[in-house]
Amino acid sequence: MKKLLLTGVALSALLAMAGSANAAYVLGMKGPGAGNPFWAAVEAGAKAKAAELGVEVIVVAPPAESDVQAQITQIEDLIAQKVDGIALAPTDPNALAPVVDAAKAAGIPVVFVDTRGTNEGVTFIGTNNEVGAALAAKYLCDNLAAGSEVAILQGLISQSTGQARADGSKKGLTDCGLKVVAEQTAEWDRAKGLSVTENILAGNPNIKGIFGSNDNMALGASEAVKAAARTDITIVGFDANPDAAAAILAGDMAATIAQAPANMGGFGIQALVDLKAGKTLEAWIDTGTVLVTKDNAADYK
């Protein structure tokens, strides 16, 4: 099915290019298999910018966020079609590095969005996840007594996003004197976030705060906390997806960190157009992070 899907993607990409004389830029995302409204916002941002600039945008994504192989194949096929630029969110930066090099060798400008790749000299457009995670840690520090026990639900540590959020939160939490008693991966997944939190609660009854490296895991954690009838646990997520915003308004989660996914898509397309026009870009274009609490959660629903 992967082959079929990819052929489909390639065909539709071809059609999209044949159908217009405009320059065609690719947005290579990790979703929709991510099951995450985040990617919908990235896509919308890119499409809005493309419409504004009068260029074509082709959106591709592997069926699941962990499907590195499918993403490599997609990008290879697009290079073969000589697209005008690729804004890529690499599922695995190391694994995607050779195809990014291949694209550059073929004269196709590349920028990374959302997740930084390993290739030298490729501009990264995205959140500083370490800063964002530190912002989440600061919220926990400000709202918990010094010395309180806290847990970190990590994403996939093999990805730079997962690594940066794990590092940033751990550093922030320990620096302000909170005690990190559990750090476990729940692989960005809601059901795993729930199970892992249940186990953490069983082993560490004094937990007062939980940082979920994404909202899906934080929402799973909030289910576990609710089931345990604990009301004294502060849960902070990351991504500010609509479900998390609703949970914050309902009091199930305390806060989350908003990235600006629409900026990633929009800045990504703009950067490709600039590169194509011969301009040079900064190495890192920060798209920014914001703390979302009860006060501003309604904006993210």
Partner 1 sequence: MSDTPATKSGFSLRGPGMSKFLEVYGIILVVVVMMLVLAVIKPEVFLSAQNLTNILKQNASLALLALGMYVVIVTAGIDLSVGSIMGLSMVCLAVASKAGVPWPIVLLIGPAIGLLVGWVNGVGLTVLKLPHPFIMTLGTLNVARGLTYLISNGAPISGLQPEVRFIGQAYFGFGMAPPAGIPASMLLVAVCAIGLWFFLEKTNMGRHIFAIGGNPHAARVSGINVDRTLVVVYMISGFMAGLSGLLLAGRTDSGFPNAGIGIELDAIAAVIIGGASFFGGRGTVLGVLAGVLIMGILRNGLNINNVSAFWQQILIGLVIIIAVYIDVLRRRAAVRR
Q: Can you give the binding site for partner 1, defined by CB under 8 A?
A: 1, 31-37, 39-40, 63-65, 182-185, 187, 189-191, 194-196, 198-199, 201-203, 216, 219-220, 223-224, 227-229, 243, 246
Report residue 126: phi and psi, to 5°: 175, -175
Q: Select 111 or 247, whichever has its Cβ closest to partner 1.
A: 247
CB of 21 to partner 1, least distance (A): 31
Q: Alpha helices of the chain — where are they, by DSSP H?
A: 2-18, 37-53, 68-80, 93-105, 129-143, 160-175, 190-203, 215-227, 242-249, 261-276
Q: State which residue, 216 or 289, has the beta carbon closest to partner 1.
A: 216
Cβ proximity to partner 1: between 15 and 202 the closer is: 202
* Residue type at position 43: E
Closest CB to partner 1 among residues 19, 205: 205
**Closer residue to partner 1, CB minimum distance, 40 or 53:** 40
Q: Measured from the CB of residue 273, what is the shortest distance to partner 1 in angstroms?
A: 27
DSSP 82: T
**How near is the Cβ of 298 to partner 1 at its closest, in Å?**
16
User: Nearer to partner 1 by C-beta: 123 or 213?
Assistant: 213
Q: How far is the CB of 128 from partner 1 (least distance, A)?
A: 25
Contacts of residue 187, defined as CB under 8 A and 6 or more positions apart, other chains included, come to 155, 156
CA gap 100, 171 in Å, rounded: 32
* Shortest distance (Å) from residue 217 CB to partner 1: 11
Task: Report which of 144, 201, 203 is spatially closest to residue 172, judged by C-alpha positions.
Answer: 144
Angle at 137 between CA 301 and CA 119, to 5 degrees: 85
Closest distance to partner 1 from the beta carbon of 2 (Å): 8
Task: Give min distance, CB of 53 to partner 1, in A.
Answer: 26
Amino acid, res. 109 = P
SS3 of 184, please?
strand
Q: Quick check: 292 and 248 in contact, CB under 8 A? A: yes
Rg over alpha carbons for the chain, rounded to the nearest Å, is 20
Distance (Å, whole) CA 38 – CA 57:
18
- Residue whose CB is less far from partner 1, 178 or 224: 224
Distances (CA, A) of 2 to 43, 68, 80: 22, 12, 18
DSSP string, 243-299: HHHHHHHTTS--BEEE--HHHHHHHHHHHHHHHHTT----SEEE---EEE-TTTGGG
Question: In whole angstroms, how close is the CB of 123 to partner 1 at the nearest point?
Answer: 27
Residue closer to partner 1, measured from CB, 36 or 115: 36
